[in-house]
Structure 1
Amino acid sequence: MPKAWIAGCSGLALTADERAFFADERPWGFILFGRNVSEPAQLRDLVAELTEAGARDTVPILVDQEGGRVQRLRPPLAPRYPPSMTVGRVHERDGEEAGLRAAWLQGRLLGHDLRDGYGINVDCLPCLDVAFPGTHSVIGDRAYSNDPAVVAALGRAAADGLMASGVLPVMKHLPGHGRTDADSHLELPRVRATRAELEAVDFPPFRALRDLPAGMTAHLLFEALDALRPTTLSPSTIGEIIRGELGFDGLLMSDDMSMKALDGDMGDLTAAAISAGCDLALHCNGDMAEMAKVAASVPELTGRAAERAERALDVIRRGATPGSIDEERREFEGLLALVA
């Protein structure tokens, strides 16, 4: 039985220490970053190693492959894709039908590249954060739009496209990262918006996509929701807002526990995230000492968390729906050419 965490690894192949550690500590899945990618054969070999280390029929292999700045696989490993905001511009300029089709096709093609090319079966997309005039560049053009209804519609289409390629989407960053004026990789952002403002703008995309199988928390402190703890560590924000008001009952993972927004002992932080209501703790940097603390602080994946994880894995198990990837790629390029 896996434990309630997702692990990174340090390099282009697993070390002997990592293989032994993962066999003992049984992460639910693994996540890849640029440091893990060099060329196609190496990446396929690493994914195979991680799948073997997971020792289960379906082992989740995650990556952040959004397009734009956040694209871990770049040419020649995968085509370059535009950021989500460019898809939003298709919607704005050429209408709803074109925008939704572009979003679906981007998800479909991203998923195909990942799963068919390398065996990667989870993409941390769509980004459902609403853009604001002062949105920090850590989100920036990763947002589809400043209109919550457009964000929801395009996010839904992108998620459906990923699932059409047999790839599990992970929506982020619950309950909304768009208002931040700081980079949560470096410090803890504080959001001073009122509850009414959050309910009117930030929450609606997540509420609209509450039936998606997986989501990721934001390392943000919302003063109107919990003045002391960021979302990832907040039982009230997770329980009353994410699970309650937004109605999300899918698999909930933390954002990366090694980000500087969270301050404290890694083991204590991980235990607090699980206690607050995260089903899984995500740890990305591959540091063995930190991973040991994470693994020691999470339980086995049981109960409701295990049920949610199984529902999420069903997306992967169903596999891809048939289609002509070459034709879909040409269609996508034609739609995007209109806003280039």
Structure 2
Amino acid sequence: MLDVAGTWLTPEDRHLLRQPQVGGMILFARNTESPAQVRELVRAIRSERPDMLIAIDQEGGRVQRLRRDVVRLPALGRICSEAPDNAEEVAEAAAWLMATEMLACGIDISFAPVLDLDYGRSEVIGNRSLSGDADELIRLGRAYIAGLHRAGMAATGKHFPGHGWAEADSHVALPVDDRSEEAIRASDLKPFAALASVLDGIMPAHVIYPAIDSLPAGFSIAWLQRILREELGFDGVIFSDDLTMAGAHAVGGMSERVDAAVRSGCDMLLVCNDRGAAEQALAHAQRIGIQPGARLPRMLARRSPGIDYKHDPQWSRAMTLLKHNGLIESLA
């Protein structure tokens, strides 16, 4: 899964998209001016590759790539604090609103929900998390996933097995969570274990958990194969986190990162915000003969509600619910 620099495709972008090892595109804020422009960009991508998986990070709060002419969604952590009496209903409505707007743009998935526990330690997670309590997070996470599914969008939980305790930001450093395996299982792992059967995708953390493995979770056979696949029974898509992040450098250069992510069991590898690195990863993938993962089609949009979704009675109900709880900032 790669990215492009702007709001339209260059000839170089189109050439890249035609490579069979490129199975996905992720959109960032620089790619999104308005829903109409995003729809046109997506049409251009699909004219080259109709089967392309198109993703975005549209969590709400500080992580919302498309902001103009869409609902300014709340950070997930605000749902429980500001709607304690009906938090599950609000979580489902927020997910449905987000998914409906993104599907109308032609986008298949937003990488959500965040299932990390908020311990008040990690600034990169913070109120992106639904809760600091595992049982509460499970309830709200299940409701959020139900909202995505009701809209027709697959759900991707992140960052397995939990990024909330490690203080460093894996975008710029290599975080280490030095707790015991028992402590991690009794807390951070619980939401992923409880929701594995309803999640369609999971994204592991670029965090080292020395009690389990010396490698970051996204490169760890112990985490992804022994625990996630075999123990938790997860059969969905495993997305690597961005292989250009500092937390991924622990295993070496780009070729080594691709090898390690494939070996650990990742179905799709993200290489973002660095075209040179993306070309290196693609060239290495071509040399070693990586084939598209059989699970990936499960992540494609299950239903497109069309661009007239604001006339859907569900839209009015969801908007009223979030407004009543003070969770909609504005329509940009």
TM-score normalised according to structure 2 size: 0.90
Distance 1:174 1:80 in 2: 27
User: What SS does the corresponding residue of 2:246 show, helix, strand or coil?
Assistant: coil
Contact 1:26–1:54 (8 Å) recurs in 2:
no
User: Aligned partner of 2:302: which letter?
Assistant: R
Contact 1:107–1:159 (8 Å) recurs in 2:
yes
> Residues 49-88 of structure 1 correspond to what in structure 2 (within 5 A)?
49-56=44-51, 59-74=52-67, 76-88=68-80
Distance 2:18 2:188 in 1: 40
Alignment partner of 1:20 is 2:20 = no
Distance 1:178 1:279 in 2: 24
1:324 Cα deviation from its structure 2 partner: 2.6
Alignment partner of 1:217 is 2:204 = yes
**Aligned pairs, number:** 317
User: Aligned partner of 2:37: which letter?
Assistant: Q
> Residues 166-245 of structure 1 correspond to what in structure 2 (within 5 A)?
166-211=152-197, 212-226=199-213, 228-245=214-231
2:243 match: 257
In 2 relative to 1, CA 337–253 (structure 1 residues): closer, same or farther, beyond 3 Å? Answer: closer
1:223 Cα deviation from its structure 2 partner: 0.9
Contact 2:32–2:66 (8 Å) recurs in 1:
yes
Q: Which moved more, 1:191-200 or 1:19-28?
A: 19-28
Alignment partner of 1:138 is 2:124 = yes
TM-score normalised according to structure 1 size: 0.88
User: What SS does the corresponding residue of 2:248 show, helix, strand or coil?
Assistant: coil
In 2 relative to 1, CA 258–14 (structure 1 residues): closer, same or farther, beyond 3 Å? Answer: same
Give unpaired runs (5+ residues) of structure 2: none
Distance 1:337 1:232 in 2: 33
User: What SS does the corresponding residue of 2:239 show, helix, strand or coil?
Assistant: strand
In 2 relative to 1, CA 318–73 (structure 1 residues): closer, same or farther, beyond 3 Å? Answer: closer
% identical aligned pairs: 34
User: Aligned partner of 1:156: which letter?
Assistant: R
Contact 2:34–2:66 (8 Å) recurs in 1:
no
Alignment partner of 1:115 is 2:103 = yes
Contact 2:78–2:327 (8 Å) recurs in 1:
no
1:129 match: 116
Alignment partner of 1:150 is 2:136 = yes
Give unpaired runs (5+ residues) of structure 1: 1-5
Contact 1:203–1:246 (8 Å) recurs in 2:
no
In 2 relative to 1, CA 337–12 (structure 1 residues): closer, same or farther, beyond 3 Å? Answer: closer
Q: CA-to-partner distance for each residue in 1:168-224, whole Å, 9 max, x for gaps?
A: 221101111111110000011000010010010010100111021111111000011
Distance 2:43 2:304 in 1: 18
In 2 relative to 1, CA 158–197 (structure 1 residues): closer, same or farther, beyond 3 Å? Answer: same
Distance 2:233 2:313 in 1: 33
Q: CA-to-partner distance for each residue in 1:246-274, whole Å, 9 max, x for gaps?
A: 33221001011111112131122112101
1:319 Cα deviation from its structure 2 partner: 4.8
Contact 2:108–2:299 (8 Å) recurs in 1:
no
Contact 1:268–1:297 (8 Å) recurs in 2:
no
Query: How large is the RMSD of aligned CA atoms in angstroms?
Result: 1.9
Distance 1:283 1:337 in 2: 33
1:317 match: 302
2:25 match: 30
2:266 match: 278
User: What SS does the corresponding residue of 1:31 show, helix, strand or coil?
Assistant: strand
User: What SS does the corresponding residue of 1:86 show, helix, strand or coil?
Assistant: helix
Contact 1:87–1:336 (8 Å) recurs in 2:
no
Contact 1:61–1:120 (8 Å) recurs in 2:
yes
| Structure 1 runs of 4+ with >6 Å offset | none
1:300 Cα deviation from its structure 2 partner: 4.0
User: What SS does the corresponding residue of 1:221 show, helix, strand or coil?
Assistant: coil
User: Aligned partner of 1:150: which letter?
Assistant: E
1:163 Cα deviation from its structure 2 partner: 1.7
In 2 relative to 1, CA 310–41 (structure 1 residues): closer, same or farther, beyond 3 Å? Answer: closer
User: Aligned partner of 1:196: which letter?
Assistant: E
Distance 2:258 2:174 in 1: 16
271, 282, 292: which one aligns with 2:279: 292
User: What SS does the corresponding residue of 1:7 show, helix, strand or coil?
Assistant: coil
Distance 1:207 1:198 in 2: 12
Distance 2:53 2:20 in 1: 15
1:103 match: 91
